[in-house]
């Protein structure tokens, strides 16, 4: 690679010395009059001749014209013809818009751009300005409900943590199903904690372009199977320097709280449960403990429960109900605030342009001891060095500080406090937190006081590029990018916490450094001939190197627990380091051809050679083709005025997913093995597979786009069929080979769906404007072939029902159907396999498909109204047809099975023969006399929801007032996120997938997961 760079430099130098101009050359730039943004693909013609060209990236053009040419005619889609006199060069042509539409929008396509009108693939665009200042931690959350077919789900309400994104469903069982994120041409590397996208200040983002179908994404080859999100950051525009000061302050709270029993209800409920279970033991279990009579059994049980009450109530007297603790409130931070301060500047002249910004965003999570803070700096610069050579630099540096809380299944995570009894005081009379045995389980507040959980991340993204105009229409772009994330995770558990008890406190320090450097070198050639043929070709190569480093040290026996780094550890009890590398060499090409502005063709191919692939499949080829027909350009359509635009398009392509393969999985390897006190052994650690390769996803896409009434109504529709083959699974092998399985490509899966987006300009008055954007999508996932060690993967947990079954969606719920409560005796009953008769024995019940965590439909509606400087934007987002299983139901909605505080709906328990209810009789399972509740449809709920996702009301100061204040603009706004949720889900929040088990299969699970964050912020943006 060094050689390449040297030669490139040399070639550039020699190029500078080439003398040109045999003809009169005119250069110039075509921009949009409204905002000065460049127009690419504008046609430029010497007036009165056939000589012409089209503007390239940045709207610039260069045209050799006869000496006698007096003027140029410039036109572009959506812009009227424009004539400009040739008085000199360069020429600045600012075009006026001719009709209401967005067909002229320039879409980022990966290694290039294309005008929306001419696109034959499926790309969803979300403008940075649409999501600016949304009070969320992660940019992927801003996309929720804004793009058709893009499903976004935050696992829970922990701030800056895991977020699931699915573009057109899940395509893999063992690989990642997340899209590839590319920031200004450089793929982003993931960290270990939180999501990588939360490191990026999305107020710096100009646009998100989401490549959805294979013809759009094939340019990213073996990483494109789950779509590609191209993030383009803001760049400076020529003109007076604009400063923007942006501040924001607000509050965060949970979207919902659940209702639990209060102290009096708890006492009454468990005394009732005690009586019931005493009777149950005596009468129905057969009095195996030999009580004299029923009353004696009841007394024994009641005394046991009263003993527990005494224990759980600490210093207080439960008989007088002296304590009534709301443990749920203890889990939440009732004073969670969020703040943002940001300063940016952009400007420059024709030769040098810049954008700089600095930002501090601090957000308290809704959970106690959960915090997020991001500081970021960005500097984007463009420099026109000569009339043929341009260079640019992007630099961003960010620090993300996280104060994290444990996973949802840990006793020390705040949400598990809800399990504690309301009769338990938080502290003893000495002011210290109670722990077991006074608390029913470990008191998670001990972690708040005696433990630390800090993860800091540093992300540095840089890119330098040059763009050389080699010949007419031919440009060469060279990019060198680096993305580096350093994360540290330092934790401490004091000796009073469950993590540090018995070992004198425990701490660990983990350090991760993941880097990726990338070089992209590609040529673009755009030309048109005979006024009818337009051709745009891009071809190039790219090389990426990924390097992940990790180190870990742990220690215990802290002499003084106020010294919480490992420097204070009396014993260093463990440590390790690892390094991993991956290289990717790629060649790619794309050609778009357009005949008479009517017939559009696209062809794309990428060849990826990845060091992780097996030796027999080192190179993967990912081709795609697409075609479109703009019907409204046909003469026979000319008379139809109401139909301003109609395009029919189709595409087919094959893309890949390389994420299921570890960097070294393809090779057989030996690693260090310990045996006794031997100095060391070498044992086989991985059986290689020379055939190991990418998962293959073939997508067919058919759709159309239309515009009505001068494009005041425009819509896009797509139908797709996305089929995964060569899906990675553990392939079973005979034991005499030395191993039982080897990773191989043998599974199949499919996603079929439709997407519709509709944009309308309802009012387009001078003062009053109202637009509506609607998007809606349906996806149906189906596992087609497994053929691994298992033909199906059935649930192994008694609390969750996710399974992989051929013919069913990934992660479908498979388990027992709850038939309610036997009115005669209050027993929970379940359906037998005949689906008609019932049993009260859980293990005897039939097994059925009992739910699906994958939504049928997702969608969003955004309305924007502006009137004389007042803007109102309201986004509703919805998810329909999916179910969520509450794995904690067996603890907290268990009709008093054990001493966990119960949700208030358990008060509807069966009490007397004939009662019709779906909550069984309250019974305490002291002696294992009956089955404790396990996963069944009793805990599977419809999790469809519609959410008022974002509402922003803004007021822009009139220009004359602003001018008097010596500022150019001022905008006051109030913005809210997750303001209201409409759902039947009885848990905290229907948008949930508990973090500790979240995966491709394990979806739609709740387990003490924190509700989502509701935020309201007030902001002020001042432009200078």
Partner 1 sequence: MKKISIYILLAALIGASGCDKKLDLKNPQTISVEDAFSTSDKVKNVLIANYASMGDAALFGGDVLWMSELMASDGELNWVGTFPEPRQIWSKSILLNNSYVRDTYSQAYRVIFNSNNIIANADKVVAIDKAKVIAEAKFLRAMAYFELIKYFGEKPFFAGSPATLKGVPLILVPGPTAPQDPFYNLPRASVDDVYKQIILDFTDAETNLPPKNGFYANKPSASLALARVYLQQDKFAEARDAANRCITVATANGFSMVSNYANAFNNSSNTSEDLFAMQVTDQAGTNSCFTFFSTDTYGARDGDIEVTSLHYNKYSPTDSRRNLFFFEYGEWRCGKWRDIYKNVKVMRLAEAYVTRAECNKRMGTAVGATVDADLNVTRSRAGLAPAIVGATLPQILIERELELAFEGQGLWDAKRLRLTIDGKPWNDNKLTFPIPERERNINPALEQNPGYN
> Which residues bind to partner 1, rule: CB under 8 A?
1, 3-4, 7-8, 10-12, 14-15, 18, 470-471, 476, 521, 523, 541, 543, 545, 578-583, 585, 587, 609-611, 618, 663-664, 667-671, 673-678, 680-691, 731-740, 742, 744, 789
Nearer to partner 1, 198 or 658 (CB): 658
Burial 196-229, CB ≥16 within 10 A → b, else e = bbbbbbbbbbbbbbbbbbbbbbbbbbbbbbbbbb
Nearer to partner 1, 304 or 664 (CB): 664
Tell me the closest approach of the beta carbon of residue 170 to partner 1, in angstroms: 26
Nearer to partner 1, 186 or 731 (CB): 731
Pairing of β 150-154 and β 163-167: antiparallel
| SS3 labels along 510-561 | EEEEEEEEEEEEEEEEEEEECCCEEEEEEEEEEEEEEEEEEEEEEEEEECCC
Tell me the closest approach of the beta carbon of residue 473 to partner 1, in angstroms: 12
Nearer to partner 1, 673 or 959 (CB): 673
What are the φ/ψ torsions at residue 599 (nearest 5 degrees)? Answer: -105, 120
Q: How many CA atoms lie within 13 A of 894 on its CB side?
A: 23
Give the integer Cα–Cα distance in Å for 951 and 863: 10
Nearer to partner 1, 548 or 991 (CB): 548
The rounded Cα 641 to chain-centroid distance in angstroms is 42
What are the φ/ψ torsions at residue 372 (nearest 5 degrees)? Answer: -145, 135
Nearer to partner 1, 533 or 674 (CB): 674
90: cis peptide before it, omega within 30°?
A: yes
Number of CB atoms found within 10 A of residue 453's CB: 20
Tell me the closest approach of the beta carbon of residue 538 to partner 1, in angstroms: 14
Tell me the closest approach of the beta carbon of residue 745 to partner 1, in angstroms: 11
Tell me the closest approach of the beta carbon of residue 471 to partner 1, in angstroms: 5
Tell me the closest approach of the beta carbon of residue 817 to partner 1, in angstroms: 24
Give the integer Cα–Cα distance in Å for 62 and 676: 76
DSSP 69-121: --EEEEEETTEEEEEEE-SSSSEEEEEPB-SS-STTPEEE-SSSEEEGGG--S
Tell me the closest approach of the beta carbon of residue 842 to partner 1, in angstroms: 16
Q: Are 729 and 781 in contact (CB under 8 A)?
A: no
Q: Are 655 and 224 in contact (CB under 8 A)?
A: yes
Nearer to partner 1, 228 or 476 (CB): 476
Tell me the closest approach of the beta carbon of residue 376 to partner 1, in angstroms: 32
Nearer to partner 1, 309 or 525 (CB): 525
DSSP 437-465: TTSSS--THHHHHHEEEEEEEEEEEEEEE
Nearer to partner 1, 502 or 680 (CB): 680
**What are 800's two structure tokens?**
């969750």
Instruction: Of 596, 602, 717, 613, give the one whose Cα is nearest residue 656.
Output: 613
Tell me the closest approach of the beta carbon of residue 735 to partner 1, in angstroms: 4
Tell me the closest approach of the beta carbon of residue 477 to partner 1, in angstroms: 11
Instruction: Of 372, 370, 367, give the one whose Cα is nearest residue 1010.
Output: 367
Nearer to partner 1, 15 or 379 (CB): 15
What are the φ/ψ torsions at residue 297 (nearest 5 degrees)? Answer: -65, -45
Tell me the closest approach of the beta carbon of residue 1 to partner 1, in angstroms: 5
Give the integer Cα–Cα distance in Å for 642 and 419: 63
Give the integer Cα–Cα distance in Å for 916 and 938: 15
Give the integer Cα–Cα distance in Å for 500 and 509: 15
Tell me the closest approach of the beta carbon of residue 508 to partner 1, in angstroms: 18
Q: Are 344 and 246 in contact (CB under 8 A)?
A: yes
User: In the 8-state DSSP scheme, what is residue 367?
Assistant: B
Nearer to partner 1, 370 or 745 (CB): 745
Tell me the closest approach of the beta carbon of residue 547 to partner 1, in angstroms: 10
Residue ranges of the alpha helices (H) in 252-370? 263-283, 294-312, 327-331
Tell me the closest approach of the beta carbon of residue 435 to partner 1, in angstroms: 22
Tell me the closest approach of the beta carbon of residue 542 to partner 1, in angstroms: 10
Tell me the closest approach of the beta carbon of residue 619 to partner 1, in angstroms: 9
Nearer to partner 1, 562 or 735 (CB): 735
| SS3 labels along 626-639 | EEEEEHHHCHHHCC
Give the integer Cα–Cα distance in Å for 950 and 863: 11
Tell me the closest approach of the beta carbon of residue 723 to partner 1, in angstroms: 24
| SS3 labels along 836-905 | CCEECCHHHCCCEEEECCCCCEEEEEEEEEEECCEEEEEEEEEEECCEEEECCHHHHCCCCCCCCCCEHH
**What are 589's two structure tokens?**
């090409």
Q: Are 340 and 133 in contact (CB under 8 A)?
A: yes
Give the integer Cα–Cα distance in Å for 756 and 777: 6
Tell me the closest approach of the beta carbon of residue 612 to partner 1, in angstroms: 8
Nearer to partner 1, 16 or 965 (CB): 16
Nearer to partner 1, 269 or 522 (CB): 522
Nearer to partner 1, 7 or 572 (CB): 7
Nearer to partner 1, 112 or 414 (CB): 112
Nearer to partner 1, 297 or 666 (CB): 666
DSSP 599-648: EEEEEEEEEEEETTS-GGG-EEEEEEEEEEEEGGGSGGGTT--SEEEEEE
Nearer to partner 1, 12 or 238 (CB): 12
């Amino acid at each position: 690679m060094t050689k390449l760079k040297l030669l490139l430099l040399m070639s550039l130098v020699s190029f500078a010395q080439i003398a040109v101009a045999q003809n009169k050359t005119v250069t110039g730039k075509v921009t949009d009059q409204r905002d000065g943004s460049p127009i690419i693909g504008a046609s430029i013609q010497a007036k009165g001749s056939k000589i012409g060209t089209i503007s390239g990236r940045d709207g610039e053009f260069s045209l050799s014209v006869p000496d006698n040419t007096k003027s140029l005619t410039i036109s572009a889609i959506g812009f009227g013809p424009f004539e400009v006199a040739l008085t000199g060069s360069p020429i600045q042509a600012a075009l006026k818009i001719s009709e209401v539409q967005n067909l002229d929008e320039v879409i980022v396509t990966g290694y290039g751009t294309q005008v929306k009108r001419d696109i034959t693939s499926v790309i969803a665009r979300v403008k940075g300005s649409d999501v600016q200042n949304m009070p969320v931690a992660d940019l992927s959350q801003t996309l929720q409900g804004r793009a058709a077919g893009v499903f976004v789900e935050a696992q829970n309400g922990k701030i800056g943590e895991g977020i699931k994104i699915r573009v057109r469903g899940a395509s893999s069982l063992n690989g990642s199903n997340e899209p590839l994120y590319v920031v200004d041409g450089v793929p982003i590397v993931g960290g270990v904690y939180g999501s990588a996208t939360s490191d990026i200040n999305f107020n710096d983002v100009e646009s998100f372009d989401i490549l959805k179908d294979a013809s759009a994404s094939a340019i990213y080859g073996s990483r494109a199977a789950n779509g590609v999100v191209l993030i383009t950051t803001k760049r400076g525009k020529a003109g007076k320097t604009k400063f923007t000061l942006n501040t924001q302050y607000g509050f965060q709270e949970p979207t919902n709280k659940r209702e639990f029993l209060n102290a009096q209800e708890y006492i009454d409920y468990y005394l009732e449960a005690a009586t019931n279970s005493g009777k149950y033991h005596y009468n129905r279990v057969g009095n195996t403990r030999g009580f004299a009579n029923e009353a004696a059994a009841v007394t024994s049980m009641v005394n046991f429960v009263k003993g527990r009450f005494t224990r759980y109530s600490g210093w207080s007297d439960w008989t007088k109900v002296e304590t009534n603790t709301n443990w749920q409130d203890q889990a939440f931070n009732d004073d969670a605030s969020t703040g943002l301060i940001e300063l940016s500047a952009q400007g420059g002249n024709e030769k040098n342009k810049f954008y700089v910004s600095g930002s501090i965003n601090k957000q308290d999570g809704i959970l106690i001891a959960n915090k997020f803070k991001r500081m970021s700096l960005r500097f984007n610069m463009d420099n026109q060095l000569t009339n043929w050579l341009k260079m640019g630099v992007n630099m961003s540096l960010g620090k993300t500080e996280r104060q994290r809380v444990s996973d949802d299944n840990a006793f020390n995570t705040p949400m598990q406090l809800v399990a504690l009894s309301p009769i338990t005081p938080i502290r003893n009379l000495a002011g210290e937190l109670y722990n077991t045995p006074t608390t029913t389980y470990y008191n998670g507040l001990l972690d708040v006081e005696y433990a630390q959980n800090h993860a800091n991340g540093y992300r540095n993204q840089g890119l330098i590029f040059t763009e050389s105009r080699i010949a007419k229409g031919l440009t060469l772009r060279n990019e060198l990018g680096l993305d580096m994330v350093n994360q540290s995770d330092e934790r401490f558990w004091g000796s009073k916490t469950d993590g540090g008890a018995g070992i004198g406190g425990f701490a660990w320090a983990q350090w991760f450094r993941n880097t990726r450097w990338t070089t992209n070198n590609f040529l673009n050639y755009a030309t048109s001939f005979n006024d009818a043929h337009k051709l745009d070709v891009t071809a190039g190569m790219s090389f990426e190197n990924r390097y992940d480093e990790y180190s870990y040290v742990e220690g215990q026996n802290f002499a003084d627990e106020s010294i919480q780094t490992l420097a204070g550890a009396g014993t260093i009890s463990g440590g390790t380091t690892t390094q991993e590398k991956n290289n990717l060499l790629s060649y790619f090409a794309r050609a778009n051809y357009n005949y008479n502005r009517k017939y559009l063709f696209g062809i794309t191919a990428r060849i990826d050679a990845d060091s992780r692939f097996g030796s027999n499949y080192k190179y993967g080829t990912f081709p795609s083709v697409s075609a479109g027909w703009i019907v409204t350009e046909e003469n026979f359509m000319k008379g139809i005025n109401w139909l301003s635009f109609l395009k029919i398009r189709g595409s087919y392509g094959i893309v890949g997913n390389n994420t299921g393969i570890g960097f070294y999985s393809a090779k057989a390897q030996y690693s260090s093995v310990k045996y006794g006190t031997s100095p060391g052994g070498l044992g086989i650690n991985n059986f290689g597979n020379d055939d190991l390769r990418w998962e293959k996803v073939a997508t067919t896409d058919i759709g159309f786009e239309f515009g009505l009434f001068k494009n005041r109504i425009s819509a896009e529709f797509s139908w797709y069929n996305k089929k995964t083959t060569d899906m990675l699974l553990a392939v079973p092998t005979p034991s005499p080979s030395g191993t039982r399985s080897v990773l191989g490509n043998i599974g199949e899966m499919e996603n079929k769906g439709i997407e519709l987006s509709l944009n309308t300009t309802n009012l387009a008055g001078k003062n009053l404007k109202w637009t509506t954007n609607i998007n809606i999508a349906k996806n149906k996932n189906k596992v087609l072939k497994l053929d691994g060690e298992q033909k199906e993967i059935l649930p192994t947990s008694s609390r969750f029902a996710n399974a992989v079954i051929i013919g069913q969606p990934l992660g479908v719920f498979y388990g027992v159907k709850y038939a309610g409560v036997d009115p005669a005796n209050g027993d929970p009953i379940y359906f037998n396999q005949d689906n008609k008769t019932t049993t009260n024995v859980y293990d005897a019940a039939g097994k059925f498909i009992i739910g699906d965590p994958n939504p049928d439909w997702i969608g969003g509606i955004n309305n924007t109204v502006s009137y004389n400087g007042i803007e109102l934007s309201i986004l509703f987002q919805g998810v329909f047809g999916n179910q969520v299983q509450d794995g904690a139901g067996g603890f907290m909605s268990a009709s008093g099975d054990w001493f966990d505080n119960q949700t208030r709906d358990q008060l509807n328990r069966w009490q007397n023969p004939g009662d019709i209810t779906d909550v069984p009789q309250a019974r305490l399972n002291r002696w294992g006399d009956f089955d404790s509740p396990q996963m069944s449809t009793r805990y599977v709920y419809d999790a469809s929801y519609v959410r008022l996702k974002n509402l922003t009301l803004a007021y822009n100061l009139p220009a004359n007032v602003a001018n008097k204040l010596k500022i150019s603009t001022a905008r006051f706004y109030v913005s809210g996120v997750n303001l209201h949720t409409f759902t039947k889900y009885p848990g905290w929040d229907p948008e949930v997938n508990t973090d500790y088990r979240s995966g491709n299969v394990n979806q739609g699970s709740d387990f003490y997961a924190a509700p989502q964050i509701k935020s309201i912020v007030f902001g002020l943006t001042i432009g200078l």
